[in-house]
Structure 1
């Protein structure tokens, strides 16, 4: 921080030698200051060493331990509309735009902290017109006085308080950029997940509609058979009840589909229903291609933005300890000023009175009731919290990857079983219809086989959605996000007429 200018020595310019000696004295003090300014207090930051395993415990042939392919991972799902929605979300999502503003703020804070490392220079100018009268009032004198000058101040930062603050601000900027990356990672995962779920709901709705139509046709045939005495009333009631039960699932699925589409609209920075028309066309559920490289546990330390964010916050809190410690030590500032005054404005640069002053200012904390020591202790406690948060972020990242790996592997096994189950129930349903026509089985057997087939097909669709969801979770856990450029320089609000102007009342402003 800059300190108040306190002149230590002043002189007029009646003798040029005094000014020369003053300049030499200032040069000596400045050289000494530069030498002392290399000092610093507080700990120097070092990245913590986190011992990690050399492999994932739940990795298998589907997820080999070669470097993961995280760049634009969603494009491997092969869905052009999904790719478009992600690009639109990155451009328009409100959380991303807020994170961009945070980066701009952190960048300004860094520039502000750096400003404390350099001298400050202020200029001043004034003009005074005065009148003085004699004691008897018989005569008076009117005169002008013009003056101009410069004041300079520079804190020597002997113990690195300003440098530590600048260091902390730089780490804060790094943290803001990692927070933006974390926001992008979460956004891409949310868009992909909701899109896949929406496609899953569409597939389940189509299945329910097909099955309900088939079951209604069966109920109609059963009613016709009942009218001619070839079927019982019990068969008719069971057939109609099963068709109605299947139809009852459709509104619930349509509600869930609408919620996913609405969420996609908000994620892309639009109104909830903005994507309804674009999502009307039914498409297949995106499916990942195998194998999917998972890398090694150390990957998360290099790619996970939340882990890197926590590490930068730890570095920032470490630098702030030095700033707090430096406040306990003496502070020295160099201050100086030069001014000129004259009776005429045109004489300021020639026939004027010139004065100058310079010198150091020493400030020593003597008694503050332990406030400065407490501030340093507080900074250390906050550093400990940041350290534990960093360790927690690492462990959480490892947990996310292991969960995604085991979920993906087991869901693949489940999907294969469900596929076999669906094929078997489809054959059983076809066979039961044939046997019912010959009277070999009862109508309840037909209904049971149809109900089992619908349940198996519906479970198969849900398993496909869940498998892709685990794929998304794995990419997020490994730190896969946006790899393109992100413009953080564009402000959200552009102020109009923000320069110097006459102040107007609200009524006057409205009148304009």
Structure 2
């Protein structure tokens, strides 16, 4: 079978020995291999995006700002991501330990007691008679052992390199989860305000339709119209009334979701959200910069790049197993019948051992090939994450533009529908038009009001989507390998 040439080989991911460390040295892939264009394919503001660390402050809604800002404090998805970060930190410490020698010490004390006591008399070969007392005896011993595996071919150093990249990737994972949670909180808040607006529209329409039903009833009693008008009015009112429970259910779901997202019970925010407020609005324009800037701003892209670095280092870990292993060691011991005599006689030994696998059925080489394939997969994931990020930005830019256009047109439509409904209502009361015309005008008014509310919600959600696509919502909070344990949670999440 013909072997396919790896597309990663130009990136330096082949099995090469670099200096004394087995495996390839990692180099970040150039933008040309990632498919990053010079500009976006949609019309977008090319100026560099401003600091989007706290993008929610761009909305004119203090409660929204407060809820999104609390994402890092109570959300349990973020808390789980932080625990993964701590695991990665511990793994790095464990990997570093392999570069150092191990030392163990031991001590022992024993005492022999002769319960019977007494003495024993012995005659020596030369005829001399001696007496030995059968009493108690002490025994002391101390020992120390040291061992060290010489990292001649860099397998342990590559393991540390992989663990360090894993730690950095875990830090970016925390940031990615944080961005996702912030966006979900904002979207559910917008949904809740949308349902409030639609509920207000439905209740306002229901009040008008109550009047229409009453007027239709008077006109039927007066013999001016048939009972068809009254039945049509009753039907329209019932259909409008039926939408209210559904909207109330959707509103309750959005508010309950907000509570859980902020680490509280589902009903924790119902009182705060009870007062009807408008759908939040943001700035008129958002600068998006150039595509290349996403490689620095989006934590998911930086996480994928760190995963690629870790996978590349693990090729060296596996490759080092193909070479001889040198182990050095030594021990030192002493024993005596009294503690003060321990230093009189000291023994020790030093050893060195070289081991080389001669035959394992191809297991070690297969592990190298497996790690090479994993690195290739990590590269493909990195490239896909970059392209997906570019897609997210372009999708959000178009969604924001079209939502604004719809908002403008629905504003006009609502004004026209309101005027038409007023005229139709006045003409019906004067007997100048039929109820069907009034019914159509009232339905058009309700639809226009709901459509305008939906367009405003879509515009707010498109802004939220764009901020997230640009990598907003996190700062440079990724820990370095030398930070002490638990400092990430204390100094970054609680400061938000």
In the alignment, the residues of structure 2 paired with residue 415 and residue 86 of structure 1 have an alpha-carbon distance, to the nearest angstrom, of: 25
In the alignment, the residues of structure 2 paired with residue 370 and residue 179 of structure 1 have an alpha-carbon distance, to the nearest angstrom, of: 36
Unaligned 5+ runs, structure 2:
1-17, 123-130, 480-484, 490-496
TM-score between both structures, scaled by the size of structure 2: 0.86
TM-score between both structures, scaled by the size of structure 1: 0.83
Which runs of 4 or more aligned residues in structure 1 lie more than 4 Å from their structure 2 counterparts after TM superposition?
130-136, 138-142, 484-488
Q: Which residue of 1 aligns with 2:40?
A: 56
Q: Is 1:448 matched up with 2:445?
A: no
Name the stretch that deviates more: 482-491 or 452-461: 482-491
Q: Which residue of 2 aligns with 1:287?
A: 281
Alignment partner for residue 469 of structure 2, among 477, 484, 496?
Answer: 477
Alignment partner for residue 245 of structure 1, among 239, 256, 267?
Answer: 239
Q: Is the 8 A contact 1:59 1:294 kept in 2?
A: no
Q: Is 1:47 matched up with 2:18?
A: no
Alignment partner for residue 70 of structure 2, among 61, 85, 88?
Answer: 88
Q: Is the 8 A contact 1:77 1:289 kept in 2?
A: yes
Q: Is the 8 A contact 1:159 1:329 kept in 2?
A: yes
Q: Is 1:265 matched up with 2:246?
A: no
| CA deviation vs aligned residue, 1:82-132 (integer Å, no higher than 9, x gap) | 122123331011111111111111111111111111111111101234589
Q: RMSD of the alignment, in Å? A: 2.4
Q: Is the 8 A contact 2:194 2:453 kept in 1?
A: yes
Q: Is 1:460 matched up with 2:452?
A: yes
Q: Which residue of 2 aligns with 1:340?
A: 334
Q: Is the 8 A contact 2:215 2:429 kept in 1?
A: no
Unaligned 5+ runs, structure 1:
1-36, 493-512
Q: Which residue of 2 aligns with 1:403?
A: 395
| CA deviation vs aligned residue, 1:411-436 (integer Å, no higher than 9, x gap) | 21122111111111111111222333
Give the match's secondary structure for 2:400.
helix
Q: Which residue of 2 aligns with 1:72?
A: 54
Alignment partner for residue 489 of structure 1, among 482, 486, 489?
Answer: 486
Alignment partner for residue 299 of structure 2, among 299, 305, 314?
Answer: 305
| CA deviation vs aligned residue, 1:351-403 (integer Å, no higher than 9, x gap) | x3111222322122222221111111111111111111111111111111111
Deviation, 1:231, is 3.3
Alignment partner for residue 126 of structure 1, among 76, 99, 108?
Answer: 108
Q: Is 1:376 matched up with 2:368?
A: yes
Correspondence 1:131-210 to 2 at 5 A: 143-210=137-204
Q: Is the 8 A contact 1:69 1:293 kept in 2?
A: no
Q: Which residue of 1 aligns with 2:272?
A: 278
In the alignment, the residues of structure 1 paired with residue 77 and residue 450 of structure 2 have an alpha-carbon distance, to the nearest angstrom, of: 35
| CA deviation vs aligned residue, 1:118-157 (integer Å, no higher than 9, x gap) | 1111111012345899999x97575332111221112110
Give the match's secondary structure for 1:298.
helix
| CA deviation vs aligned residue, 1:239-266 (integer Å, no higher than 9, x gap) | 1211111111111111111111111111
Q: Which residue of 1 aligns with 2:349?
A: 357
For this pair of structures, how many residues does the alignment match? Answer: 451
In the alignment, the residues of structure 2 paired with residue 288 and residue 461 of structure 1 have an alpha-carbon distance, to the nearest angstrom, of: 15
Deviation, 1:344, is 0.5
Q: Is the 8 A contact 1:200 1:465 kept in 2?
A: yes
Give the match's secondary structure for 1:356.
strand
Name the stretch that deviates more: 424-433 or 244-253: 424-433
Give the match's secondary structure for 1:224.
helix
Cα 1:376/1:187, change in 2 over 3 Å: same
In the alignment, the residues of structure 2 paired with residue 420 and residue 372 of structure 1 have an alpha-carbon distance, to the nearest angstrom, of: 72
Q: Which residue of 1 aligns with 2:407?
A: 415
Name the stretch that deviates more: 152-161 or 122-131: 122-131
| CA deviation vs aligned residue, 1:449-468 (integer Å, no higher than 9, x gap) | 11111111111111111111
In the alignment, the residues of structure 1 paired with residue 394 and residue 323 of structure 2 have an alpha-carbon distance, to the nearest angstrom, of: 49
Cα 1:484/1:389, change in 2 over 3 Å: closer
Give the match's secondary structure for 1:185.
helix
In the alignment, the residues of structure 2 paired with residue 203 and residue 168 of structure 1 have an alpha-carbon distance, to the nearest angstrom, of: 52
| CA deviation vs aligned residue, 1:156-195 (integer Å, no higher than 9, x gap) | 1000011000000000000100100010010000000000
Q: Which residue of 2 aligns with 1:20?
A: none
Name the stretch that deviates more: 192-201 or 415-424: 415-424
Q: Is the 8 A contact 1:64 1:293 kept in 2?
A: yes
Q: Which residue of 2 aligns with 1:427?
A: 419
Q: Is the 8 A contact 1:68 1:295 kept in 2?
A: no
Q: Is the 8 A contact 2:71 2:178 kept in 1?
A: no
Q: Is 1:109 matched up with 2:91?
A: yes
Deviation, 1:205, is 0.4
